[in-house]
Chain A
Amino acid sequence: MPSGIKDKVVIAGMGCSKFGERWSAGPDDLMVEAFGEALADAGIERDRIEAAWLGVFFDEQSTGKSSLPMSMALRLPNVPTTRVENLCATGTEALRGAVYAVAAGACDIALAMGVEKLKDTGFGGLPERTKGTFEDLYLPSSTAPGAFAQLASAYAHAYGYSIDELKRAMAHVSWKSHENAVRNPKAHLRNRITIEQALEAPMIAYPLGVYDCCGVSDGAACAIVTTPEIARSLGKRDLVSVKALQLAPSNGVEMGHQSWDGTHTLTTPLAAQRAYREAGIRDPRAELDLIEVHDCFSITELVVMEDLGLSDLGRAPHDILDGRYDRDGAIPCQIDGGLKCFGHPIGASGLRMAYEIYLQLLGRAGERQLRGRGGRGPALGLTHNLGGIPNRNVASVSVLGLLAT
């Protein structure tokens, strides 16, 4: 058994740009904004960075191919840089590269940057791209909401909910994230909504209404990672360490084999179990203080609660309506507003989630700071991304926690 990466790498500093429709900012502006915050947080000069990973998913149209857009925008000192892309798990993938490099001893200090400039697309929603030379010949020209909406039709059918009942729980998911985002100055959507608004919203892809869909945003987020020893030498006292970083990509079963029932993601439970094992988590329901999951659509968050083992199969709607994942619930979910309201600049999202966990664990989350179990402050948080569509995707799960001194 490999020893894993638990506690081998800590976060020296993080940064996150304001997310939103950043009409006056390009990807370089967004990266500089996030990077400046992270450098100041880490208390280092940029030349201390020995290697960097850039995550960009969709809009290489605006950002450019390769890792050069980052190396050039940040004027990095010609150190090795790499671009990674793994659908909506891209930001976490960038973090994985940097963390693995430090854990391997290949470098002492590494940067993980994620950025996406979506609002140069020209219309709402995500850019339209080919699905592949063969896929275009037979796959539907589906959209992201349409791909995820199918979870709802299958889930409702399998677990005996009417669509109206399920929509009620989905509306609560979105309502809760809007409530949380009001307290987050960097969030894209900071307005309150009512359950009724969510239920009566115009349809995007049945049964998803507009409030079941996350924001399409510009933004960047980054992390500077290093070893615990170097972090301490930088004068850090409380350290957030990486407890686990796991990926589980599809291998075609959901696309082609009848064993997948279409109600859940096949990959998230695999990534979660591996992450729990790597982090030494025995009972995630009792141990996790907060979670940031891939709520690209309300129904995704709902089924992911079950995929992560936090709700029993078929019970997530009840747990959600009971307030279990609300700000004052047992396991607060999307305390920063989530993809839903913080926004979803795809390449940045995984790092944005880590950013929120990092702030919460260090007690730096301001107005939205959680008190944690028994008021001791949160100690363990989880991030989850689901890149792609339910039929084929990359699930990533990371666990971040305070490093025991």
Chain B
Amino acid sequence: MIFSILSLTPELSWMLIKVLVCIGFLMLLAPPLTWVERRGSAMIQDRIGPNRAALFGKIKILGLAHVLADGLKFFFKEDLIPKDANRSLFWIAPALAFIPALLGFAVIPVGRSFQVEGVTYHLSLIDPNNGMGLLYPLAIGGLAVYGVLVAAWSSNNKWSILGGMRASAQMVSYELGLGLSVLALFVAVGGYDPHEVILDQVEHGWFLWRQPIGFLVFFVCQFAETNRLPFDFAEGESEIVAGFHTEFGSMKFGLMGLTEYIHIIVASALIVTLYLGGWSIPFNGDGDRWPVLVTVASFLVKLLFMCWVFVWVRWTLPRFRYDQLMYLGWRIMFPLSLLNLVLNAWWITR
């Protein structure tokens, strides 16, 4: 075995497999998601969407070749840096946006834990009881604003800086509602580890039904966090060109685009873990009854459905105005999440 040649311990090799699979999954799911977005939006708007690119000029596969063509195009385009841009920041900005987006997935369990020969294996990158729990993806999600801000600041462009400022204000405002709605969930569970949250949901039912207000707030705030329509103020084609990535080209732009979709996947994973019962299978009290792969499949189905909801909402709702966004964040989402917290606190002490 390759693991014995590299003299890896079983724990280390298990970790290695998990890292490769998880990162590979995120990287491989994001490009097809662009396809889902383009074709899905076309279908929603009674169009047909991109279907012309073909592999070797023959195999059209429903326009999936466009994903490959786009990727190739990004690699071969000239990498321009504006004259007065801050070169070093301009170079690291895409990475600053990309890496936090990837990291958020680390604590999310994609299937139930299982035991082989007395050793327990967990299907999340970081094992449970690590002391960070769900605070980790929230903190990492907060870091994502730096990618946007640094990109906006370094490109020395007024549209960029407008987009970056809006994005940062929006993310900071909506993180309040986000944090508080999750807090109510922690109160109900009595712990903040994703494994505990899922096991609690296996036992008592999904939080979607137990905390609908919390779900609503969390869901809406995730749209703001991922900078998706109806809250896409970081980009806003109609007013500030492409917003924070106006000056980015070639693979830098590709990375920015990929970041958005990885954000969607991670946000969907969070929603699934927190409110849709994670890997658990509905109408099934005992979580250990199903094989591990079935639980993984259950998680994936929920995850893909949530990703589709992100696309679906984008092509349904028009954009907000900026002051409406702030109003919604501070005067509706924030009080709602507080109310939700108080209600849940009262519920458990009752």
A binds B: no
- Measured CB to CB, the residues of A under 8 A from B are none
- Measured CB to CB, the residues of B under 8 A from A are none
